[in-house]
A and B are shown apart, each in its own frame.
Chain A
Amino acid sequence: MNELKELSIVGKRIPKLDAAKKAMGRAEYIQDIKLPGMVYGKILYSKYAHANIVKIDTSRAKALPGVLCILTGDDVPKKMKMGFYKDNPPLKKGKVCSFRDEVAAVAATTPEIAKKALDMIEIQYEELPGIFDPEKAMQPDSPLVHDYHKTNVLNLPWKLHYGDVEKAEKESAFVVEERFTTQWVTHCCLGTSGAIALFDSNNNLTIHTNTQIPSLAQKDFLESLKAMGIENKRVRVIKPIIGGGFGSKLDSYAYEHVAILLAHACRRPVKIQFDRVEEFKATSTRQPTIIYIKQGCDKNGKLTFRDMRMVLDNGAYTSWGATTPSVMMMPITSLYRVENVRYEAKCVYTNNTYSQAFRGYGNPQATFAIESTLDMLAEKAGIDRVQIRRLNRNQPGDVTPQGFKISSCGLSECIDAVEKEMVINGPKEKGIGYGIASLIHVGGGARIYKSDGCGAILKMDDYGKVDIFTGGTDMGQGMDNITAQIVAEELGLLVEDINVVHSDTDVCPWDVGAHASRSTFVAGNAALGAAKKVKAVILEEAAKTFGVSPDQIVMKARNIFVPGDAEKTMTIDKLLRKVHFSPQGKMLMADYFYDPDNENMGKDMKGNMSVTYAFGAHGVKVKVDEETGKVTVLDYVAAHDVGRAINPLLLEGQVYGGVLMGLGYALTEEVVVRDGKTMNANFRDYKLFTAKDAIKIKAPVVETYDEFGPFGAKGIGEPGCVPTAPAIANAVYDAVGVRITTLPITPEKVLAALMEKKKNH
């Protein structure tokens, strides 16, 4: 392919720009920041899942030396509510609806005093019956989580029906039906959450916070200020280096708004820093689901319909977890060709913890059900599992029932790549099984907000160095490198010539956030746009100097020259100085705002959400111990269509990290919640894989060159963890003939299923 010609910087394995700083322990995370005069805030959480707050007595705590102020729900302005559903005040008043409900907050001169003060706040509760099962909470006689809401079912539009599912079912040769459930899992960022808020003398707010959405967080904080009666002021959001994101920092949290309230009340910089237990209990999880699915095919294996219904445990408050159905729709309507699709999701209030964005944003849950039942369908129809996937694969030029326009599509090549590494249907020993599952994900932004844009401002100095101020956010995934490599490639510079600034809303333009695997595509295109504007001016100036036309000039390796003419060459920095220090001289600067040409979903849920889509296929070999139920992963292949790899080193890092996160989701990870209470708020009992569990993962890259992507690239941040669980479930079935429909696939569940199977034979 012509477009995939070798480039100088793009496509190279260039180490992460801030890695050396991090390797030396010099990177500053929120944990490491201390401001002059800073004091420490702490939050008191509810003792009950559901209770009336009868009385709060803060007098003893207030009297403690070192305590500067104490706030309760009474001190929170009425209109100060978090989340898009506006149902979550940062401190609760009158009633608590979950164990993570914030009931009071303290600012004190040391963290120890703040903690002691919390212990001295006396609260009298009157316990209420809790509701913890979303399907029970849907019933008319269920207790209400929020009386004002009249029903536990949220008013959200998650419903679609394309084609005629009932007719298609009748006409199908084979139909399978199953119920799946997925668990709470949590991000486990190694760096815990934290924020520092401070006001200047004019009531302008500066907040240092771990966020993936600086611009939207700024908007949230402005709304809070407005609720506090502080209008027309500035909010500056400063991001320190972030110790892991994975979606956890996609909404603003109570602790950020509480820090603002405390800082305002005591006129000091206030820092709230979570410890690990708090991180487990008071940050949000992946959305748990109950999934009912039916899929059918004709006698040849061609998919005829897909019918899905979900009940989502919303928890007591609403964050992005309740919007994950908008992304679940993507695999439901568009993973493989299927014309008749129906889907409905109900989000239901309970007294459990509430959910948030998490890598994949609903896609892993939906794909678990789709890909598990696809294997069931293949078996029922007597068709090879790989064959049924090939037969129904998406192809370039497809428009899916939801209106997704598939531009580039390497799904077929991804399946080839898996089969090249692993014989899915080959002979095997007892207890050994192979599984395969595919994925579709947004790869060209995702229009879930009014704008899907990202701005970039680029300036060049007299020495050939570039500062680029981007709206994009790096949280370890490598947005900084992608930006630098794209700019260096376009301007004929080296990566070390590019300084990427992505930390401060005072200097960086707007961006909707680091989510939806959109940074490479959207922030990349924004950077490319700015670089192109500057390049055009440079070429024009060089053309004057060399006396040739701009299109004859090349910029490469810090030089600008006319190929084949040894006279017409100079270093880029020299040209820049020449342009600057001439009469009516100019400095080279450019800005660019890239808002992809994608569509918001309409009322019928149709719309081309992303400019392009990423695809992948995963294959796995497992061993199942039939006496213990333990599943061991022996081999893993994760093939992805990435358009083009801007940086294969970092790309592999995203895939490996995603796959292991997906394996945790499939096999070991679960936030155990009993009657609303988190039972395993530590790394001992929340079972992340360790280095000793690590496996070798093969990550073949399929490059389809997407015409809309920067240098052909699509996003690849999330896909690694999307089809992992069904690949494992399918492999377990292949190995021992039991279908596990609830995650995680623990030894206990596998053994129970094996015993049940034995009993029935």
Chain B
Amino acid sequence: MKPFKYLTPATVEEAVSLYGQHSETAKYIAGGTDVIVKLKDEWMEPDFLISLKKIEELSEFRKNENTGDLTIGATVTHAILEKSIMIQKEYPIIYDAVSNIGSLQVRNVGTIGGNLINAVPSADGAIPMIALDGVALIQGPSGERSVEVKDLFIEPYKTVLKPGEILKKITIPAQAPRTGSAYIKFGRRAAMELPLIGIGVLLSLDADLETCVKARIVLGVAGPTPMRAYEAEKLLVGKKITEDLLRQAGEKAADESKVRDSVRGSAWHRKEMIRVQVRRMGMKCMDIIKKN
């Protein structure tokens, strides 16, 4: 690893200003579980590492009981989310996703913001944030701006963040009543997986507990970035959810996906898994709604 100087600003403004001073030669670091691997591989060789760990406002994690908005600061670790009873109960899709990122050792340090900014096609953390219509608040040299998490990713390892910008937090708007959500990471083993495919589904139902008023189908490793299967979602909205309808949505989502062959698995199998798992996750959503 090339030597660097480690800077620990206390505020976002200070961090952005430090970046301004060192620009090209600086990188931000949060938990570090991705960044340190890249430093070791000499994939990045900054002279300055600007740590976001000491910035208090980035670790905000709370639900506004009045508005129902959920705020997750960028440096909130996967383990904090995983252990939160509120997340387990109200946002099962977040729990499903973050509780299987890497190992517990990684989840104890790795942050949700880092997971998003690393922008790998398999980013488990991104799927629930997209499904829940999360909005990312970004701050940089030219002030603050908001981007929907679904629009955060450009290509593998690349987001819309401009040099010097920091992802501050994700805000998740209040969920509609009668909403269920679920995520599955499909791989060969039970843990430590980079998924062959990741599938998140969120459904909100009408008071009849049958008619779909909102659907989100989000796919990981199905293309260069995490993606929504819009056509498949459309197929569900306004209709009564049945296993057969979910099967059709799975077909549609598989068609929409941009899966490809890789060392980890082949495209056809990924497509099959989308077909099957969209239906299964949809059914799981229905179970969750009915249970609540």
Contacts and interface: CB of A to CB of B under 8 A. Distances in A.
Nearest to A755: B272
A674 interface: yes
Interface stretch (A173-181, A322-330, A467-475, A687-695): A687-695
A746 B276 contact: no
Contacts of A752: 269
A728 to B, nearest CB: 13
Contacts of B273: 628
Contacts of B189: 668, 687-690, 692-693
A628 B266 CA distance: 13
B103 to A, nearest CB: 8
A684 interface: yes
Interface string B270-288: 0011001100000000000
B163 to A, nearest CB: 28
Contacts of A85: none
B263 interface: yes
B154 interface: no
B230 interface: no
B50 interface: no
Contact of A628 (B192, B264, B276): B276
A747 B276 CA distance: 13
A659 to B, nearest CB: 16
Contact of B188 (A672, A683, A747): A747
A549 to B, nearest CB: 64
Interface string B182-204: 00001111111110100000000
A667 B193 CA distance: 15
B193 to A, nearest CB: 8
A674 B276 CA distance: 30
Interface string A628-643: 1110000000000000
Given A627-B276, A628-B273, A679 B263 contact: yes
A120 interface: no
Contacts of B193: 687
A674 B194 CA distance: 20
A692 B191 contact: yes
Given A685-B263, A748-B265, A668 B188 contact: yes
B265 A685 contact: no
A204 interface: no
A628 B186 CA distance: 9
A667 B190 CA distance: 13
A751 interface: yes
A672 B273 CA distance: 22
A680 interface: yes
Contact of A684 (B194, B265, B276): B194
Interface string B103-128: 00000000000000000000000000
A685 B192 CA distance: 9
Nearest to B276: A627
B211 to A, nearest CB: 27
Given A667-B188, A689-B189, A693-B189, A748 B276 contact: no
A662 to B, nearest CB: 15
Given A628-B276, A751-B272, A687 B188 contact: yes
Nearest to B279: A627
A627 B192 CA distance: 23
B280 to A, nearest CB: 8
A685 B264 contact: yes
A672 B263 contact: yes
A629 to B, nearest CB: 8
Contact of A751 (B188, B190, B191, B269): B269
B190 A690 contact: yes
B135 to A, nearest CB: 31
A679 B269 CA distance: 20
Nearest to A667: B188
A679 B186 CA distance: 20
Contacts of A751: 269, 272
Contact of B266 (A680, A684, A691, A748): A748
A683 B187 CA distance: 14
Nearest to B3: A112
Nearest to A744: B188
Q: Name the residue in B186, B273, B277 with the highest tally of chain A Cβ atoms < 10 Å from its Cβ.
A: B273
Contacts of A627: 272, 276
Given A627-B276, A628-B273, A693 B263 contact: no
Interface string B236-274: 000000000000000000000000000111100100110
B281 to A, nearest CB: 13
A684 B277 CA distance: 23
Interface in B154-198: 186-194, 196
B265 A683 contact: no
A751 B197 CA distance: 15
A674 B188 CA distance: 20
Contacts of B263: 672, 674, 679-680, 685
A685 B263 CA distance: 9
Contacts of B190: 690, 692-693
Contacts of B194: 684-685
Interface string B126-153: 0000000000000000000000000000
Contacts of A746: 188
A679 B196 CA distance: 16
Interchain residue pairs A-B with the least CB separation, the first 8: A692-B190, A692-B191, A748-B269, A627-B276, A679-B263, A690-B191, A668-B188, A693-B190
Given A680-B263, A692-B190, A748-B266, 19 more contacts: A627-B272, A628-B273, A628-B276, A628-B277, A629-B269, A668-B189, A685-B263, A685-B264, A687-B189, A688-B189, A690-B190, A690-B192, A692-B191, A693-B191, A746-B188, A748-B265, A748-B269, A751-B269, A751-B272
Interface of A: 627-630, 667-668, 672, 674, 679-680, 683-685, 687-693, 746-748, 751-752
17 contacts: A627-B272, A627-B276, A628-B273, A672-B263, A680-B263, A684-B194, A685-B264, A687-B193, A690-B191, A692-B189, A692-B191, A693-B189, A746-B188, A747-B188, A747-B196, A748-B265, A748-B269
